[in-house]
Amino acid sequence: MTSPGDAAPVKPPPSFSPGVARVPSKSRYPDESESVHSIDPELADARSGSSPTPPLSATTAELPIRTSSPHARSVRSSTPQLARSSLGSPFDGRFDGSEDIRSLVIRAFSPTIAIHASDDTDQLTVSGKVVIRDSVGSSRAWEDYGVRFVDLKGFGRAPAGRESGRESTLTQMEEILDQELDTRERLLGASIPSKDALGVPVASPLWKLLLRQILSANPAAPHETFCHPVASVIAISSRNTAPLEALRQLYAESSTGAKRLPDWVHQEYLRYYVLVHDEERDDITESTKLYDQMKRHFGLHCHLLRLRSSQCVVTDDDSVQVPTCEWLSPQEQLSGAGEAETLVDLGTDGIPYLFESDATAIRAFIRELVVQSVIPFMENRVAVWNDQIASRRRGISGRFMSVGRRFMTFGAGARGSGTGAAGGSGNYDPTNNNYSPDTPEAILRKMADFSFMLRDWKLSASTYEMIQSDFKNDKAWGYHAGANEMCAVSMLLNPLAMSTKIKLENIDQMFENACYSYLTRCSDVPHALRSLTLAVELLKSRGGSATESAARWAMRVMDYGLVGPIGQILFTERVSACYASKIPVTGAKWGGRRRKAGMWSILAADQWLKAGKATLASACLEEAERLYGDVLEADGVFPMPEMQGFAENLRRAVKVEYLGARGFDTFDEPASEDPDTEETSERLEKIDKRNHRRSLIGLPAQLDAGTLNMTSGTRDPENPPNDDFERA
Amino acid sequence: MSYYFTILSPTDTPIFNIAFGTSKGGGDGIARFRFPDTAQYMNQFIIHSSLDIVEEAQWTNGGMYLKHVDTYPPAAAYISAFLTPSGARFLLLHQPPQLPSGNASLGSSSLLGASGSTTRTSSSSVAANPTSPQTEEAVRQFMNEIYESYVKSAMSPFYKQGMEIRSPVFRSKVTAAGKKWL
């Protein structure tokens, strides 16, 4: 089943929770997928089988669900709060934030495991279906190692739906953000924005949401293998009358039959056999016997998973909520949301529950699967490919060969073979825009992806770099862009390397190539957006001068118009965050970028206000004030008159909207505002005697004819309008 | 090319502002920024934010003329800076004319919005490329000339350090220098 000889055996337990099958199992939707694991106690999630979603909806092939690792959880929990104004010290913000985001990015590229279950198992797993989540510490102490599960059946449908899906992805993203905003606003309705309720929120939850969307929005594509399955779980249940036959049949289906993956996916992946035992209806001794038999047949890649088949309800003592997947693609999220709403109408909460014992079993299963089978398998593959292909290419003779090959293909092209452009290796198929999975190029790319998933960034970076030029010669632009992008990403993730300026330039160059190839040559907006976003986040987490590049890339995203209006605002905020994370050299007053950060925050506030989100606008405004705090002479007073005017108007507008949204009578507002304004105006007077101010101050003063009027009245005579007549 | 020139006191308070356009290549000397009229404060925001860079550059660059120090990509605004011994800083924001097809993608951000109608074609080398050596040189000449006028104004017995410069003569000299070099 798997490739020659390699796989270290493991024993597999199947994971499905048996349920009653009332509805066609959901596993059939193309999208089902599952999650990633983390070690924490959460359980996996399955999407509940009964969901009404029509199978077609999914364009995306993968449904990556990743379960939440501990990090993720905390993220999630903070979401409900509006904690976006991070009040934390810059220091905290910078470090925590970047770690968090870094792990998010890393987890986004984790191995995919396909699930392929026999029909009866499918039925068993109705309600708590598949599962998943878990965590595994990979052998190297990565606590948050994650895997994602995908339903094999759905895999590969995506390409068909891709054209149409593509355009909509961005719209969908936008829609989700919108919904999220609405919800959040409803939640906050009464409460005061929790600026500090949670301590130091690091990056705004909305931004994280967007980031996750961006990272999970991409359907499986030929030019990168992250979404291609690394392993496939083949499951049968203890009710099956001819278990071994069934397994064999499933295997055949997956390799040659209807469930075969598209041609561009490498067919050699790990198969893992799972026997699901129904604790409530079947005899354990039978199952054990069967399991022994399986072990004999299939070696160690087997597992016995014991689950209960009755439906778990909230009221059961040991029920555990099925966690939702952290990595739903935008579509799934939308359909999921729709689903939840319908259920709410019916009086259920729509959240599937699992028995705790099942959850534990599933966790153990996934852990075993990952630690004993998947990771060794991947390591093994990387070693083999590295040996057989990469090292050959790297050596002198390899280099020579590739040059020679290039000349030779000139001849081949002349012979009219028709494949490959002149100068290309001929392995690239320009009609389908892909390499067949057996070609050295495709295997090297896969090897690089594997080593990336195993977090060997040095190896992956050097491999990407090596194949990148091959792709360029072949004019395989999608691959070229992908290799450039991932090369830069793995260099940035590698904690040891870097920090010299030259390298930074290389990285900028690579992102530049990637986004040019994606956008101009492939018109692949989601990927371009993903690579630019990764550039922003990873450069930002590098700190130092890299943060300026990060800000530049974020501006580039806005410039290209890759995101919708809300996305634009979030990116604006992100630019601010990038600049804010550049801190001055110790002991020196200069070197920070506070003014820039402040400016972008103000711009973001203005845009939020225009978008009608006063709460968010006020958070941005606060952030801006905090940022400007260090650079301005007096609190909240800008030295430049027009800036000051703009900022004041903005503040006032935000306040009015904000209070209005909360149901306060707007007319009361001036009263509360007065002290402020007055104070401010006095300060202003001291600093700047120009008459600009007066008009601004005038506004509130009219509303409540108080002291303000008097102040401004008396002031006037002292400051006759400036007529430029001072002296010659 | 449109210009916004500011002199900032050591405490960042502006003591002189002027906006003008190029007079080269048939320009009429009127500034046409890419921001809508309601968003002219953006010039000040951009200049203010570039102080971060100016502060950094003044310790790493030996000259008084710091050349092109900062860029604000969304509006293609370039900032050049000149330091004076008294701590006042001359900042010049220059913005090349908008290319007809240029800015379409900025649409969603109203702050950065611009109108294509202001497009003017200017063939002079200064306008064409804000970071070219010719531009750097032209700006240097401009800055030096202003510096001279500034020193004279600042030496006036009626002028106190940090006061706004309201002299029409100074203003006209700046305008003339702009015409001459930019």
User: Per-residue pLDDT for A641 more than 50?
Assistant: yes
pLDDT range class, residue A319, cuts 50, 70, 90: low
d(CA A103, CA A97): 10
pLDDT range class, residue A394, cuts 50, 70, 90: low
List the single residue in B73, B106, B109 with the smallest CB-CB distance to A607.
Answer: B109
Amino acid residing at A83: A
pLDDT range class, residue B37, cuts 50, 70, 90: low
**Chain B neighbors of A594, CB-CB under 8 A:** 52
- Residues of B in CB contact (< 8 Å) with A are 8, 11-14, 40-41, 43-52, 55-56, 58-59, 73-74, 105-111, 156, 158-159, 164, 166-169, 171
* Residues A222-243, mean pLDDT to the nearest whole number: 67
Q: Chain B: nearest CA to A522, how far in angstroms? A: 19
Q: How many domains does chain B have?
A: 1
Look-up: residue for tokens 């930019």? B182
**Chain A neighbors of B58, CB-CB under 8 A:** 590
Torsion of CA B25, B31, B32, B33, to 10 degrees: 120
List the single residue in A590, A593, A639 with the smallest CB-CB distance to B12.
Answer: A639
Say whether A558 and B74 touch across the interface (CB within 8 A): yes
List the single residue in B8, B48, B171 with the smallest CB-CB distance to A643.
Answer: B48
Q: Contact at 8 Å (CB) between A579 and A543?
A: no
Nearest CA-CA partner of A264 in A426, A59, A439, A6: A439
Better-predicted residue by pLDDT, A146 or A369: A369
**DSSP secondary structure string for all residues of chain B:** -EEEEEEE-TTS-EEEEEEEE--GGG--S----SS-GGGTHHHHHHHHHHHHHHHHHHHH--SSEEEEEEEEGGGTEEEEEEE-TTS-EEEEEEEPPPPTTGGGGGGG-GGG---GGG-----SHHHH-TTSHHHHHHHHHHHHHHHHHHHHHHHSTT--TT-----HHHHHHHHHHHHHH-
Say whether A690 and B59 touch across the interface (CB within 8 A): no
SS3 for A591-615 is CCCHHHHHHHHHHHHHHHHHCCCHH
Q: Contact at 8 Å (CB) between A716 and B155?
A: no
Say whether A590 and B56 touch across the interface (CB within 8 A): yes
Buried b (16+ CB within 10 A) or exposed e, B140-177: bebbebbbebbeebbeeeebeeeebbbbeebbebbeeb
pLDDT in tens, A476-514: 888 888 888 888 888 887 766 555 555 777 888 888 888
User: Per-residue pLDDT for A27 more than 60?
Assistant: no
**Chain B neighbors of A646, CB-CB under 8 A:** 41, 45
User: Which region among A4-8, A57-61, A271-275, B156-160 has the lowest average model confidence (pLDDT)?
Assistant: A57-61
pLDDT range class, residue A135, cuts 50, 70, 90: very low
Say whether A592 and B52 touch across the interface (CB within 8 A): yes
Please, what's the largest Cα pairwise distance for chain A?
A: 106
Say whether B164 and A633 touch across the interface (CB within 8 A): no
User: Which region among A87-101, A565-579, B7-21 has the lowest average model confidence (pLDDT)?
Assistant: A87-101
Mean pLDDT in chain A? Answer: 59
How far CA A580 is from CA of A406, A627, A656, B51, B59, in Å, comes to 49, 7, 28, 15, 21
**DSSP secondary structure string for all residues of A336-379:** HHHHHHHHHHHT-----EEEHHHHHHHHHHHHHIIIIIIHHHHH
Say whether B41 and A643 touch across the interface (CB within 8 A): yes
| pLDDT for residue A124 | 37
Any idea what the CATH number is for the domain that residue B70 is in? Answer: 3.30.450.70
Nearest CA-CA partner of A661 in A624, A616, A621, A696: A616
d(CA B81, CA A643): 20
Better-predicted residue by pLDDT, A377 or A167: A377
3-class DSSP assignment, residue A276 = strand
- Six-digit token string for B64: 């008084």
| pLDDT for residue A532 | 86
Q: Contact at 8 Å (CB) between A274 and A14?
A: yes
Run of H or E including A696: helix A692-703
Where helices occur in A52-192 by DSSP H, the ranges are 70-78, 90-108, 119-124, 158-188
Say whether A728 and B171 touch across the interface (CB within 8 A): no
Q: Which residues pair with A33 in a beta bridge?
A: A150
Say whether B73 and A572 touch across the interface (CB within 8 A): no
Q: Chain B: nearest CA to A170, how far in angstroms? A: 15
Q: Chain A: nearest CA to B85, how far in angstroms? A: 18
Q: Contact at 8 Å (CB) between A621 and A605?
A: yes
d(CA B25, CA B121): 8
List the single residue in A555, A643, A724 with the smallest CB-CB distance to B166.
Answer: A724
* Residues A374-400, mean pLDDT to the nearest whole number: 72
pLDDT in tens, A286-309: 777 777 877 777 777 777 777 665
User: Which region among A385-399, A415-429, A599-613 has the lowest average model confidence (pLDDT)?
Assistant: A415-429
Say whether B110 and A607 touch across the interface (CB within 8 A): yes
Say whether A642 and B12 touch across the interface (CB within 8 A): no
Q: Strand B89-95 relative to strand A428-429: parallel, antiparallel, unpaired?
A: unpaired
Say whether A589 and B55 touch across the interface (CB within 8 A): yes
3-class DSSP assignment, residue A712 = helix
Nearest CA-CA partner of A369 in A131, A61, A41, A141: A131
Burial degree of A129 (CB within 10 A; 0-12, 13-18, 19+) = buried
List the single residue in B13, B44, B45 with the smallest CB-CB distance to A688.
Answer: B13
Q: Contact at 8 Å (CB) between B106 and B35?
A: no
Q: Contact at 8 Å (CB) between A609 and A657?
A: yes
| pLDDT for residue A727 | 44
Say whether A596 and B52 touch across the interface (CB within 8 A): yes
Better-predicted residue by pLDDT, A690 or A322: A322
Nearest CA-CA partner of A470 in A416, A526, A389: A389
Between chain A and chain B, how many beta carbons pairs sit less than 8 Å apart?
Answer: 105
| pLDDT for residue B60 | 82
pLDDT in tens, A553-611: 888 888 887 777 788 888 888 888 888 888 776 666 677 788 888 888 988 888 888 88
Say whether B105 and A561 touch across the interface (CB within 8 A): yes
Mean pLDDT in chain B? Answer: 79
User: Per-residue pLDDT for A261 more than 70?
Assistant: no
| pLDDT for residue A95 | 35
d(CA A70, CA A237): 31
Say whether A610 and B158 touch across the interface (CB within 8 A): no
Say whether A572 and B109 touch across the interface (CB within 8 A): yes
pLDDT range class, residue B5, cuts 50, 70, 90: very high
- Domain span including residue B151: 2-181
Return the residue in B89, B109, B174 with the most chain A beta carbons within 10 A, the one to mutate for interface testing.
B109
List the single residue in A589, A633, A646 with the smallest CB-CB distance to B41.
Answer: A646
User: Per-residue pLDDT for A382 more than 70?
Assistant: yes
Amino acid residing at B161: Q
d(CA A139, CA A145): 10
Contacts (Cβ under 8 Å, ≥6 apart) of A261: A152, A155, A156, A228, A229, A254, A267
List the single residue in B43, B48, B105 with the smallest CB-CB distance to A560.
Answer: B105
**Chain A neighbors of B152, CB-CB under 8 A:** none
Q: Chain A: nearest CA to B106, how far in angstroms? A: 5
* Residues A324-351, mean pLDDT to the nearest whole number: 47
User: Which region among A189-203, A340-354, A420-434, B48-62 has the lowest average model confidence (pLDDT)?
Assistant: A189-203
Q: Chain A: nearest CA to B61, how far in angstroms? A: 14
List the single residue in B56, B111, B167 with the smallest CB-CB distance to A727.
Answer: B167
User: Per-residue pLDDT for A189 more than 70?
Assistant: no
Q: Chain B: nearest CA to A294, how far in angstroms? A: 60
Say whether B47 and A640 touch across the interface (CB within 8 A): yes
Say whether A590 and B12 touch across the interface (CB within 8 A): no
Better-predicted residue by pLDDT, B156 or B109: B156
The CA-based angle B156-B153-A682, given to 5 degrees, is 90
User: Per-residue pLDDT for A150 more than 50?
Assistant: no
User: Per-residue pLDDT for A429 more than 60?
Assistant: yes
- Six-digit token string for A463: 């491999």
**Chain B neighbors of A572, CB-CB under 8 A:** 109
Q: Contact at 8 Å (CB) between A409 and A426?
A: yes
SS3 for A455-466 is CCHHHHHHHHHH
Contacts (Cβ under 8 Å, ≥6 apart) of A435: A222, A264, A427, A428, A429, A441, A442, A445, A476, A479
Return the residue in B40, B41, B71, B89 with the most chain A beta carbons within 10 A, the one to mutate for interface testing.
B41
User: Per-residue pLDDT for A452 more than 70?
Assistant: yes
d(CA B147, CA B64): 10
pLDDT in tens, A52-84: 333 323 323 333 333 333 333 222 222 222 223
Using a cut of 0.90, tell me whether the model's pTM lies above it.
no
Q: Contact at 8 Å (CB) between B166 and B14?
A: no
**Chain A neighbors of B106, CB-CB under 8 A:** 558-559, 561
User: Per-residue pLDDT for A342 more than 50?
Assistant: no
* Nearest Cα residue in chain A from B153: A728
Number of other residues whose CB lies within 10 A of the CB of residue A452: 27
| pLDDT for residue A182 | 55
Better-predicted residue by pLDDT, B171 or A228: B171
List the single residue in A568, A592, A594 with the smallest CB-CB distance to B108.
Answer: A568
User: Which region among A178-192, A659-673, B48-62 has the lowest average model confidence (pLDDT)?
Assistant: A178-192
- Strands of the sheet containing A148-151, edge to edge, are A148-151, A112-117, A229-237, A270-278, A302-307
**Chain B neighbors of A603, CB-CB under 8 A:** 45, 109, 111
pLDDT range class, residue B173, cuts 50, 70, 90: very high
**Chain A neighbors of B74, CB-CB under 8 A:** 555, 558-559
Q: Contact at 8 Å (CB) between B1 and B127?
A: yes
| pLDDT for residue A510 | 87
d(CA A124, CA A115): 14
**Chain A neighbors of B73, CB-CB under 8 A:** 552, 555-556, 559
Q: Which residues pair with B78 in a beta bridge?
A: B71, B94
User: Which region among A144-158, A449-463, B116-130 has the lowest average model confidence (pLDDT)?
Assistant: A144-158
Q: Contact at 8 Å (CB) between A299 and A25?
A: no
